[in-house]
């Protein structure tokens, strides 16, 4: 197994939404015989392309298709989770290194990325239909208070929707009654971590322009097609952000203008939460090498390769 004379066995590209992570990751992979493993919690779903920002056109570099993993592996409506991600990541990781290629993890879902870098010991949490049934008529405020009885709520995404809150309570109830068992030892990961970000003003501009572009490219029609194919609106709302507000628009609960304004604000807030997560990772001892905002893409790839050899 060779890793380009590098002490690292994984390159991680992380950053806020609309930062251009995919382009950095694919161009790096092109240089180093790499393959991408997506670290995005929603890109696993088939047919959810524009709303999740898959940017599949970025996987063609100089006419060559860059292999990728953990994209389009589940049907929309399914509730994929961090346990499954970690399991699927290490399957893809082992497959890549067995073929003497270099794995590149790319994504902005901080929990997913950190579960790999830190090698979290994650238990499998089965669904509890009896508990779900007992909670289904509770308000979001009531569910939030129930969840607070288990733990402090540092992660607000757990209480964005009723479905998310019920799943979070389900997890806490399972862990209360089932102490985690010793799990299979994971491969040791030594990752060079690269951060891609822009200052607040440029970040806001990029997010808004990207949202406008995706709407023009058919993001509303994508959501309408998912609903027409049989995906329940409530399940799309569960995914949050684009799918929450676009679904509310398609269902007639928001005008197009209202949808855009609310969604634009929500994505800006999400990007801020992503950066908060990454700063917390740094405070907890994870070294993130942030790329300079200036300079062209080729220069940035040169810089990453220098770090790999260092």
Q: What is the mean pLDDT of residues 187-192?
A: 95
Q: Assess whether pLDDT exceeds 60 at residue 3.
A: no
Q: Assess whether pLDDT exceeds 60 at residue 76.
A: yes
> Per mean pLDDT, which range of 8-22, 164-178, 235-249, 264-278 is the poorest?
164-178
State the Cα torsion 152-155-157-162 to the nearest 10°: -10
Q: What is the mean pLDDT of residues 182-190?
A: 81
User: What percent of the chain has pLDDT above 90?
Assistant: 81
How far, in Å, are 141, 178, 191, 202 from residue 286 at the CA level?
35, 30, 10, 26
Q: What is the pLDDT of residue 185?
A: 80
Q: How confident is the model at residue 180 (pLDDT cuts 50, 70, 90)?
A: low
Q: Assess whether pLDDT exceeds 80 at residue 265.
A: yes
Q: How confident is the model at residue 218 (pLDDT cuts 50, 70, 90)?
A: very high
Q: What is the mean pLDDT of residues 112-122?
A: 92
Q: What is the pLDDT of residue 175?
A: 83
Backbone angles phi, psi at 154, to 5 degrees: -80, -30
- Could you tell me which residues come within 8 angstroms of residue 99 by beta carbon, excluding any fewer than 6 positions away? none
Q: Assess whether pLDDT exceeds 70 at residue 112.
A: yes
> Per mean pLDDT, which range of 49-58, 117-126, 265-274, 290-299 is the poorest?
117-126
Q: How confident is the model at residue 1 (pLDDT cuts 50, 70, 90)?
A: very low
Strand partners for 69: 37
Q: Assess whether pLDDT exceeds 80 at residue 145.
A: yes
Q: Assess whether pLDDT exceeds 70 at residue 155.
A: no
Q: Assess whether pLDDT exceeds 90 at residue 184.
A: no
CATH superfamily of 10-121+183-309: P-loop containing nucleotide triphosphate hydrolases (3.40.50.300)
Q: What is the mean pLDDT of residues 289-302?
A: 95
Domain ranges of the chain: 10-121+183-309, 129-177
Strand partners for 106: 13, 38
Q: How confident is the model at residue 141 (pLDDT cuts 50, 70, 90)?
A: very high
Q: How confident is the model at residue 52 (pLDDT cuts 50, 70, 90)?
A: very high
Q: Assess whether pLDDT exceeds 80 at residue 139.
A: yes
- Specify the pTM: 0.87
Q: What is the mean pLDDT of the chain?
A: 93
The residue ranking higher by pLDDT, 144 or 3, is: 144
What DSSP state is assigned to residue 154? -
CA dist 82 and 68 (Å) reads 19
Strand partners for 14: 195
Q: What is the mean pLDDT of residues 105-112?
A: 95
Query: CB–CB of 178/2 below 8 Å?
Result: no
């Amino acid at each position: 197994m060779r890793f380009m004379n590098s002490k690292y066995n994984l390159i991680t590209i992380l950053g806020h939404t609309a930062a251009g992570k995919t382009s950095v990751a694919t161009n790096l992979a092109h240089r180093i015989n790499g393959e991408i493993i997506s670290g995005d919690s929603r890109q696993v779903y088939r047919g959810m392309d524009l709303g999740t920002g898959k940017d599949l056109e970025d996987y063609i570099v100089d006419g060559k298709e860059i292999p990728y993993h953990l994209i389009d592996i589940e049907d929309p409506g399914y509730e994929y989770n961090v346990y499954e991600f970690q399991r699927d990541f290490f399957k893809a990781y082992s497959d890549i290194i067995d073929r003497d290629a270099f794995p590149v993890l790319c994504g902005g879902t901080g929990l997913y990325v950190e579960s790999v870098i830190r090698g979290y010991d994650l238990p499998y949490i089965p669904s509890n239909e009896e508990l779900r049934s007992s909670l289904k008529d509770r308000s979001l405020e009531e569910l939030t208070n129930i969840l607070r009885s288990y733990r402090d709520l540092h992660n607000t995404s757990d209480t964005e929707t009723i479905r998310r809150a019920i799943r979070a309570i389900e997890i806490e109830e399972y862990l209360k009654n089932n102490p985690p068992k010793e799990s299979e030892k994971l491969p040791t990961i030594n990752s060079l971590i690269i951060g891609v970000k822009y200052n607040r003003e440029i970040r806001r501009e990029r997010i808004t322009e990207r949202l406008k572009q995706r709407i023009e490219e058919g993001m509303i029609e994508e959501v309408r097609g998912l609903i027409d194919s049989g995906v329940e609106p409530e399940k799309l709302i569960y995914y949050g952000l684009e799918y929450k507000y676009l679904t509310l628009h398609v269902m007639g609960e928001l005008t197009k203008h209202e949808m855009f304004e609310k969604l634009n604000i929500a994505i800006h807030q999400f990007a801020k939460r992503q950066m908060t997560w990454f700063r917390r990772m740094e405070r907890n001892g994870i070294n993130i090498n942030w790329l300079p905002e200036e300079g062209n893409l080729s220069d940035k790839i040169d810089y990453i390769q220098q770090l790999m050899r260092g």
